[in-house]
Amino acid sequence: MNRYAKLSLALSALVSVTALGADLNRAEAQKPKKQKEETAQDVKKVQAVAATTFAVTKRFPIGGEGGWDYLIVEPGSRRLFVSRGSHVVAVDTETGKVVGDIQGTEGVHGIALAPGLGRGFTSNGRTSTVSVFDLATLEVTSTVKATGENPDAILFDPSSKRVFVFNGRGQNATVIDAASLAVVGTIPLGGKPEFAVSDGRGRVFVNIEDRNEVAALDADKLTVAARWPLASCNEPAGLAIDRKGQRLFAGCHNKLLVALGSVDGSILSKVGIGEGNDAVGFDEESGLVFASNGDGTLNVVNEVTPGAYTVVQTIETRKGARTHAVDSQNHRVFLPAAKYGPPPSPTAERPNPRPQMLPGSFELLVVEPVQK
């Protein structure tokens, strides 16, 4: 190779290195800019939350017989499904009118929806069964026997297209193929399950109340993939998930909300909340967490810095309004409630009787943002 050819190669190499260096410099210059933009967006989000307060804006009188447990908003519709002891009522979220009634769900606790299949599912504690109903007609079309006693929480996992039924006394989970309705497996949990959520990517998470932990389940293999202790948390009941941020929020009976990572279970934050928590919800649009408590409070929790959460508002609801459902599209929270009379006299069988719900007093509270 002559000296001119060598010089040409050297110049080409120098140009390439210079261009590479320029690209790297541009990338480094753009990286802080992107981080600044993301930080600015987070600040605007926090400011928007700070500029908004929540209040009970409506009370829908529902009446009827039966207590309640879980409820769920149907995505893309105006229907809210509420468990009522022996049946499930469908309520119009705008008018508060009852638009449907699903009968024959004795001891119903929870409702799961599979819109793509046109089906809904209920967990029936007294009969240890799952009722399958048609979302169009609200008629029960099938019944599946659970593989454990007292089915409680229930969910549809869109990733595996399976229904997970968590049996309280059975201390296990019955897994049902949502299409064929065949029971495809049972997962031993080693403790009493409470509420559960899915990340939509193959993991299902459930509170194990008597072990003070969250169990992470593999939705395909039907195994317990991990167990994560909840430090300082006693009897976790409510559970919510931030799928995008990969966070879980567990509500504990000792007036504590624990935020943890949904990938590794690392504890991120602990927040004081009201007494008697039984449900935690997450608004996917605003990023707010809601904790409803039996003492008649609803805590609104916000992430103030990455991984750090705090209560930004506490709303008075009604004593006993311990569960709720979040409508992320309209930023509303629905809470079942009722009026109570004095408790009956104690007996040997019931030494600590609960107050009796007054007939016809059942209602739905609507909590939504109101500008300051």
CB contact at 8 A, 296 and 320: yes
pLDDT per position as a tens digit, 284-330: 999 999 999 999 999 999 999 999 999 999 999 999 999 999 999 99
Question: Where residue 349 falls among pLDDT bands split at 50, 70, 90?
Answer: confident
For residue 88, give Cα distances in angstroms to 76, 245, 262: 19, 33, 31
pLDDT per position as a tens digit, 261-285: 999 999 999 999 999 999 999 999 9
Structural domain boundaries in the chain: 68-229
Which helix (H) or strand (E) segment holds residue 72: the answer is strand 71-73
CA 237 to CA 322: how far, in whole Å?
A: 11
**29 has pLDDT over 60:** no
**211 has pLDDT over 70:** yes
Residue 357: closest CA among 29, 12, 85: 85
Q: What is the mean pLDDT of residues 140-166?
A: 98
Q: What is the mean pLDDT of residues 17-33?
A: 48
Angle CA(176)–CA(291)–CA(65) in degrees, nearest 5? 65
Which are the contacts of 105, defined by CB distance < 8 A and separation ≥ 6? Answer: 83, 86, 87, 88, 122, 124, 131, 140
User: CATH assignment of 68-229?
Assistant: 2.130.10.10
Question: Where residue 21 falls among pLDDT bands split at 50, 70, 90?
Answer: very low
Provide the whole-model pTM: 0.86
For residue 166, give Cα distances in angstroms to 11, 112, 207, 320: 70, 12, 10, 23
Tokens of 261: 């990572």
Which are the contacts of 262, defined by CB distance < 8 A and separation ≥ 6? Answer: 199, 203, 205, 216, 241, 242, 246, 247, 248
